[in-house]
Structures are given as structure tokens and as C-alpha cells.
Amino acid sequence: MAHAHQHHDDHACIEDSLADLALLDALTAPALPSAADLGLSLNLSAGQGASQKPKKQQAYKRRDADLDPLLLAAAASYGHVTRNHYAHDFFPAVGDPRSEGAYDWTKWQPEDPAARQERRPRLKYVSRQGPRSQKVKQEEKENGTAAAVEPSQAAGKTPAPPTKPPVPPVTSAVPASLLPPSAELEVKCMARTRVPTPHGPVFLHLYHNSRDNKEHLAIVVDPAQLQEDTPQLAPPIRSRSLDAVWSETETDADRITRGAYVGRLSHKSQKASRPAEQRVDPPSLDTIPSPLIRIHSECFTGETIGSMRCDCGEQLDEAIRQIAQPITIPSPSDPSQSITIPGRGAVVYLRQEGRGIGLLSKIRAYNLQDLGHDTVTANLMLGHKADERGYAIAGAILRDLGLGSDGLEGVRLLTNNPDKMKALEAEGIRIVERVPMVPRSWQRQQHAKLGGDMVGVHVHDGEDEKERG
């Protein structure tokens, strides 16, 4: 009995092996089985037409038939065959979504070569950004110095930079002889709107320029413009390019939509502004301090996600807070009495992330800093200068706003960087005072270190905001 049982097991094992070989033969055959071949075994098993020899139809040869044993062996060794194995082209057109039923090879039909359309070649990505040598050459050209021609550029291998649309010139009251060398840079305020902030309302200006494709901003703090019933004691801080006439066919609605309006815009008040040359602004009193301005460079990590690697976000907030502080001056009608007027000034927000190297290089520089390098060394290792920031666009924006360039009123610059002060003066901006930038975190650290109140330094806290209402 044991011998008969063993013989039965061997017979079953042989049948299983033969079945596996039959499946392997079907999968690795030079041609796919046709529909007639698939029905042949069913007819034979039913005893129909056993003596008739079917005529084998012509089948389509698979292009990967020679690889099937290798693929099957790899799938078998994996231990678990999933649908992802069939994506490796076990059957033709599996990866072609145009073939209906592609994942069922019994429904696949070969494509007629005569009806096959020529497939379009894949487009190659061609970078339009030239090498760094071209950028340096452009900078030297703008600065008035000659640069050597690179061999690759001489051979015409470097694509020409895309041309930028011309920007309408900005009306300026500064004589051409007094303008700095970079005054040919043109800026245009494209839009302006009122934005409420924790420190009071501000006017956000968006600028385009003729040098780059970035959208630089100006955050103007001048809430006196919203007080139409109160006499103006200082000239309003307004964009001359925004208030200019852009076309002969523009309407008041067009001007108001882009922000060229006066007063507070509402459904009851819509008054378009007039061009700078058609209005008479009140002169600034000698008792009113010059506008306080701040040049701030974009910092996504510090301003948006609150990175503790820098205090850029806090400096931006502190700049708006200091500019918005009310100003106490003697009353024009009675000098023995004092009055309070709203603060005035602007923050020019330049889109030059990471000292001008961009966000991508800045993130890479952070990794180098984690390895022990300082900021300057990290920038140099990435092929950049220690500081690639420029202030020509900031100077042009300040001139457009009439800040520090009209020859009548200078500006106070909120900064700890003397180089920034020199750069703005080189752009023709008249700076009458440098105001230190002391963020609140610095004040609190120094206050805690000394263990008491510091003379001449006020530690700002939430109670100040409550007192202001």
C-alpha cells in the first residue's frame, strides 16, 4: 500500500511539473497563442474534432520573448508576483495606455504597421540660463567696466538672454545732471493697495523694473493719506509712476483698480488721483522728522516658517513697527502746545533671497553651515560672492516715491550696515540720519543680561499695543 501511495504522489508531481512546463512553453513561445489555439484544448477535451488537425493562424512575434525565462525566474525568486511585474513588459503593449485591455494579453491585438503614425520625438530641455561668466560680464557691463569675452560665448554656444519688455519711464523731479550712473534703471509701480497690519494700515506697492523679472515691493506707512478731513502737515508718500497717465484711453476706473486713488477706497468713496505734476503737495514742516525707511531683503525661511537661523522676520516686523510710531511735534498754530501725527516712512522689500544668491543656493549653504562653515565661506564654496545684494533698484523705488531724492527732504535709514548707507547715497538718496535696528529679541537678551532697565532703550512688549488701542 505504501508503495502504491508513493507511486500516486510521484505521478501527481509529474503532472504538476508537466503543467508548469506547458505554462512555461506558452509564455516563452516565439509567438502568442491565437484565439483558435486557446480554444483547441477545450474542443479536444470535449471530444470534438479530435481527428481534425487545426490550422494554426499566424501570430505576432513578441519582441521580448527571449527575456521571458529571465523575468519569470526573477519573479519566482521574489516569492510574490504582483501586477507591477507585468509592467516590465511580460506581454506587448502592457505599458501602452492606448491599447484597450492591455493588461489582459488574450484581448491584445497587434497594431497595423500601415496605420501606425510616426510618434513625435520627445522635446529636449534646453536651459536658457547662461553660465556664471556671462552673468559676471553683464554685471561688469552695467557697472561700466569691460569684461573679457569667454570662448564659449565667442563661439555662439551661449544662448542670448531673453529680451524684457520696455518699462515706461518714471517722471522724476531730480535734474538729470544730479542722477547717479545707474539712474537709467527704470521702475514702474504696477499696483497699490491698502493692507491692515498689527501696526496700523500700510500701502503695499508692487514694482516691475527694466533690470530683472522680479516683483519688488514697497511697504509705505503713511496713514495720514486716509484722513481726508485733516490738513496734511507733510507731503504724502505716493508713487509717481503709479499716478502717471498710462494711456490716453484710461478711465478713472482703470486708475482706481491699479491703486491710483486718494483717501480711503470704499463703495462710497472712489476718487482717482492726479499725476504728480498736476497736484500741489504741502511742504514738510521743519519740526517733522524725515521719513524713516528700511531696505529689507527677502528671507523666506525667517519670515514665512520662522527659522531661528536668522532674525529677518523679526527685523521686518520691527521696521514696520518703528516707522508706524506716532510722532509728537509742536503745534503749527501754537508752538507751546504739542500735537501727535501718524508715523511715515517705507520699507523697500527686495526679492534677493540669501544675500542675493537665491533660495536654492541658500538652502545648500545651510547644509555647509551645518558642516562647520560660516555664511561667507559657504557662499564662496557654492561659487557665489560673499554678498551679491544690490541696491540700485531700491534707490529707483525711493526716487519714485519721492523719498530722499527731491532735494527738499532727506530720509532716516533704519540699518546697522554702513555699507548699505553708502550704497544708497551712491544712488543719489540723501540720508540725514542712520537709525540703529535693534530687534526686540536683542533688547530682551540685553535686558536679561543686565538684570534691569537699560538707559535709552525701551523694551517693547504687548502692553504698548494695548495702550495704543
**Residues annotated catalytic, as ranges:** 387, 389
- Of 310, 280, 283, 287, the closest CA to residue 298 belongs to 310
Query: Could you tell me whether strands 200-209 and 187-197 are parallel, antiparallel, or unpaired per DSSP bridges?
Result: antiparallel
SS3 396: helix
**392-400 helix and 418-426 helix, angle to the nearest 10 degrees:** 60
Distance (Å, whole) CA 303 – CA 300: 5
DSSP track, 84-104: HHHTTTSSTTTT-TTSTTTT-
Distance (Å, whole) CA 435 – CA 195: 25
- Of 195, 168, 213, the closest CA to residue 205 belongs to 195
Query: Could you tell me whether strands 187-197 and 345-350 are parallel, antiparallel, or unpaired per DSSP bridges?
Result: unpaired
State how far the alpha carbon of 468 is from the alpha carbons of 195, 307, 326, 406, in Å: 19, 29, 10, 33
Query: Could you tell me whether strands 345-350 and 292-297 are parallel, antiparallel, or unpaired per DSSP bridges?
Result: parallel
For the chain, the C-alpha Rg in angstroms (whole number) is 38
